């Protein structure tokens, strides 16, 4: 009888147990675009989803498959599809599963690019209602007869609002709705959306899972909980075999294959290796983030601190119940007398950068960059001031980070 292994042990040995060539401990990088078959029937069977295999790497390659397997294990899921980026994963999944005339309920605190692509879908006729997802009542009141999906993030970027994840999951189960959760800010190490009845889970692998700022990638995981047999948007051509496979097959075919947001095998390899130390890095980064949040909270030049680990955070109790840690995303709002550009330019150790989930601590002025296109009115609704700075906390020695911030704050 096989004993279930721990999180890091499972990741470290995931490739090896798949028996890579020549006893390699990591799945090799397969750069081939095409795959040949001696018997044409074998090629046809792959095309028709009658057997597993590879035909053309736009919709899958052995290296990406190995990473998909690893993410599925992390999320305690059923199956996963890898994409070139997290945005490709989200936009392609909506493209694959939602049709004109359908309705989506989404968090009003969505990451700027996610909000942007949802707006593009609205411009093309998709009906999307944005609500404050920190309370399930807001989601329920927005439901319509044609609602197909509820989409939320675990922790919002940048103001760290925490969605009412468990209650929303119960609501979606009761109503038979597809529940999709973006787990990027928490990662499968701190939280598993399958535990709150999510049907689909999105991750930007570029962030903490890859963790080193050296590869772009995204993934969508089917948890196996959603009944695709009752979902009206599955194409007849994919209604074959195991009903549990219908959704993920359609995402791979209509989302990945048709939209073409394919992950490169080299990126999959980098992310797969980075994922092996996810737990170690998250423990260090979240510890640093908690220390810095407390430091900022006591500093006279900081007007407000946004971090779910603080007891005065509006959803602290919810975050404490749901997550095993509070994440690496931390935002601060400077007092009005301080110029955020001047403050950032004084930082010597902390890097001015737009990424998240790196080993290094990163900083960016929110209103002027990642949420600039949203406009002042929408930013105000989301709690984003002109003096807000988003921080992605890394694994540096905490005393060095505090010293750098202390010098910049004056």
Q: Which residues lie below 8 Å from residue 171, measured CB to CB, with a gap of 6+? A: 136, 139, 140, 150, 177
What digits encode the pLDDT tens for the residues 53-68?
998 999 999 999 999 9
What digits encode the pLDDT tens for the residues 158-194?
999 999 999 999 999 999 999 999 999 999 999 999 9
- Predicted local distance difference test score (pLDDT) of residue 2: 59
- Predicted local distance difference test score (pLDDT) of residue 112: 86
Q: Is the pLDDT of residue 1 over 60?
A: no
Q: Is the pLDDT of residue 370 over 90?
A: no
Q: Which residue has the tokens 């194409």?
A: 235
Contact between residue 354 and residue 344 where contact means Cβ atoms under 8 Å apart? no
Q: Is the pLDDT of residue 46 over 70?
A: yes
Q: Is the pLDDT of residue 23 over 80?
A: yes
Q: How confident is the model at residue 21 (pLDDT cuts 50, 70, 90)?
A: confident
Q: Mean pLDDT across the stretch 145-153? A: 98
What digits encode the pLDDT tens for the residues 276-309?
999 999 999 999 999 999 999 999 999 999 999 9
Beta strands in 273-410 (DSSP E): 302-306, 329-334, 351-352, 362-365, 388-392
CB atoms near residue 42 (< 10 Å): 14
SS3 state at 71: helix
The pTM (predicted TM-score) of the whole model is: 0.95
Identity of the highest mean pLDDT range in 38-52, 91-105, 365-379: 91-105
What digits encode the pLDDT tens for the residues 334-350?
999 999 999 999 999 99
Q: How confident is the model at residue 143 (pLDDT cuts 50, 70, 90)?
A: very high
Q: How many helices (H) and strands (E) would you count in the chain?
A: 16, 12
Q: Is the pLDDT of residue 29 over 50?
A: yes
Q: Is the pLDDT of residue 91 over 80?
A: yes
Pairing between β-strand 147-153 and β-strand 178-182 as defined by DSSP bridges = parallel
Tell me the DSSP string of 92-138.
Answer: HHHHHH--TT-EEEEETT--HHHHHHHHHHHHTT-EEEEE-TTSHHH
Contact between residue 366 and residue 158 where contact means Cβ atoms under 8 Å apart? yes
- Predicted local distance difference test score (pLDDT) of residue 371: 83
Q: Which contacts of 382-386 are long-range, i.e. CB under 8 A and separated by 24 or more positions?
A: 382/108, 382/109, 382/156, 382/159, 383/159, 383/161, 383/306, 384/158, 384/159, 385/333, 386/340
CB atoms near residue 215 (< 10 Å): 20
- Predicted local distance difference test score (pLDDT) of residue 22: 83
On the 0-12 / 13-18 / 19+ scale of CB atoms within 10 A, 353 is middle
Contact between residue 303 and residue 335 where contact means Cβ atoms under 8 Å apart? yes
- Mean pLDDT over the full length of the chain: 95
What digits encode the pLDDT tens for the residues 244-273?
999 999 999 999 999 999 999 999 999 999
User: What share of the chain in percent tops pLDDT 90?
Assistant: 91
Specify whether the backbone of 126 is left (phi greater than 0), alpha (psi in -120 to 50) or beta: beta
SS3 state at 351: strand
In 3D space, the residue among 292, 290, 331 whose CA is nearest the CA of residue 311 turns out to be: 290
Q: Is the pLDDT of residue 40 over 60?
A: yes
Q: Which residues pair with 304 in a beta bridge?
A: 333
Give the separation between CA 171 and CA 182, rounded to whole angstroms. 17
């Amino acid at each position: 009888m096989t004993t279930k292994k721990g999180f890091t042990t499972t990741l470290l040995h995931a490739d090896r147990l798949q028996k890579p060539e020549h006893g390699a401990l990591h799945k090799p990088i397969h750069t081939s675009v095409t795959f040949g078959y001696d018997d044409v029937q074998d090629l046809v069977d792959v095309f028709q989803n009658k057997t597993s295999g590879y035909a053309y790497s736009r919709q899958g390659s052995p290296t990406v498959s190995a990473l998909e397997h690893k993410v599925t294990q992390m999320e305690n899921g059923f199956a996963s599809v890898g994409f070139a980026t997290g945005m490709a994963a989200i936009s392609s999944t909506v493209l694959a599963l939602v049709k004109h005339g359908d309705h989506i309920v989404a968090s009003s605190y969505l990451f700027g690019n996610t909000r942007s692509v949802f707006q593009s879908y609205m411009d093309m006729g998709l009906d999307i209602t944005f609500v404050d997802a920190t309370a399930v009542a807001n989601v329920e009141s927005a439901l319509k007869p044609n609602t197909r999906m509820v989409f939320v993030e675990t922790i919002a970027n940048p103001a760290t609002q925490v969605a009412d994840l468990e209650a929303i999951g119960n609501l979606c189960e009761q109503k038979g709705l597809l529940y999709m959760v973006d787990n990027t800010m928490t990662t499968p190490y701190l939280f598993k959306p399958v535990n709150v009845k999510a049907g689909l889970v999105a991750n930007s692998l570029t962030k903490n899972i890859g963790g080193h700022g050296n590869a772009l990638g995204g993934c969508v995981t089917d948890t196996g909980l959603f009944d695709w047999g009752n979902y009206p948007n599955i194409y007849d051509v994919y209604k074959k075999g195991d009903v549990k496979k219908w959704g993920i097959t359609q995402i791979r075919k209509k989302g990945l294959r048709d939209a073409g947001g394919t992950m490169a095998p080299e990126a999959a390899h980098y992310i797969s290796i980075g994922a092996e130390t996810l737990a170690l890095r998250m423990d260090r980064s979240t510890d640093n983030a908690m220390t810095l949040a407390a430091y900022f909270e006591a500093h006279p030049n900081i007007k407000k601190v946004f971090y779910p680990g603080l007891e005065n955070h509006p959803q602290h109790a919810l975050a404490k119940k749901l997550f095993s840690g509070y994440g690496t995303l931390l935002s601060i709002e400077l007092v009005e007398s301080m110029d955020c550009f001047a403050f950032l330019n004084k930082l010597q150790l902390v890097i001015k950068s737009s990424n998240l989930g790196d080993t290094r601590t990163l900083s960016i002025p929110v209103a002027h960059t990642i949420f600039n296109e949203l406009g002042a009115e929408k930013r105000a609704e989301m709690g984003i001031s002109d003096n807000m700075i988003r921080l992605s906390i890394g694994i540096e020695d905490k005393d060095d980070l505090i010293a750098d911030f202390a010098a910049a704050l004056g």
